[in-house]
Amino acid sequence: MLKKLTAELLGTFVLVFGGCGSAVLAAGFPELGIGFVGVSLASGLTIVAMVYAVGHISGGHFNPAVTIGLWAGGRFRAAEIIPYIISQVIGGILAAAVLYVIASGQAGFDVTASGFASNGYGEHSPGGFSLQSAIIAEVVLTAIFLIVIIGVTDKRAYAGFAPLAIGLALTLIHLVSIPVTNTSVNPARSTAVAIFQNTWALEQLWLFWVMPIIGGIVGGVVYRLLLAEKQ
């Protein structure tokens, strides 16, 4: 179990550091900035890398919504849910702390004004999308993510390609939803940066726990009932 929890902590650390770090440090430069597409690719690539690196140890969740969704889909033991989630949140917070230290080295950096890659809706949505839009996007996209994860790790799927498919799915999710919520589908990621943003991001954090978890459960149940091979 210690190895599993360490793998989850490390994987979530890299996911938050890579995805949020690309947004905070590399996305905003005129002409040279990586923009939405670059941040989306960075987020997907971190998943590919870390699932290949440590997925064989812990399953490569790196996300409380994935852990709960896999349980709902009959792929994970209930007794391990809380330890996994704690490790994921700690890994995310550690990554956000390192990112904060790096970002603070830039002249004029203001974590509150910049948003620090936090997730939001309404006036804090990158595209000004409403609460309703944020709810639908987070539920639907997390459900899709879980269906992909369970599907590509099904014993009937092609072995060895799961990390690529999961990373590409996360890239697609970011391409769709960065303008809506800055893309969560991961409560650990949202919590980590919200702590350092420390104002509106904490006030809106509830949505980025509740909706991804609902979406994860929906995706897990849909696959289990409609797509899984009958025993």
Give tens-digit pLDDT for 77-88.
999 999 999 999
Report the 10 Å Cβ neighbour count for 17.
23
Report the 10 Å Cβ neighbour count for 117.
28
Percent helix, strand and coil across the chain, each rounded to 5?
75, 0, 25
Which CATH number belongs to the domain containing residue 142 in this structure?
1.20.1080.10
Model pTM score = 0.95
Give tens-digit pLDDT for 153-193.
998 888 789 999 999 999 999 999 999 999 999 999 999 99
Give tens-digit pLDDT for 33-57.
789 999 999 999 999 999 999 999 9
Joined tokens for residue 1: 């179990």
pLDDT band at residue 70, thresholds of 50, 70 and 90?
very high
Count of domains in the chain? Answer: 1
pLDDT band at residue 231, thresholds of 50, 70 and 90?
low
The domain in which residue 131 lies consists of 1-227
Long-range contacts of the stretch 204-209 (C-beta < 8 A, 24+): 204/119, 204/120, 204/121, 204/124, 205/119, 207/119, 207/121, 207/131, 207/134, 207/135, 207/138, 208/119, 208/138, 208/181, 208/184, 209/64
pLDDT band at residue 29, thresholds of 50, 70 and 90?
confident
Q: Are 208 and 138 in contact (CB under 8 A)?
A: yes
Q: Are 12 and 87 in contact (CB under 8 A)?
A: yes
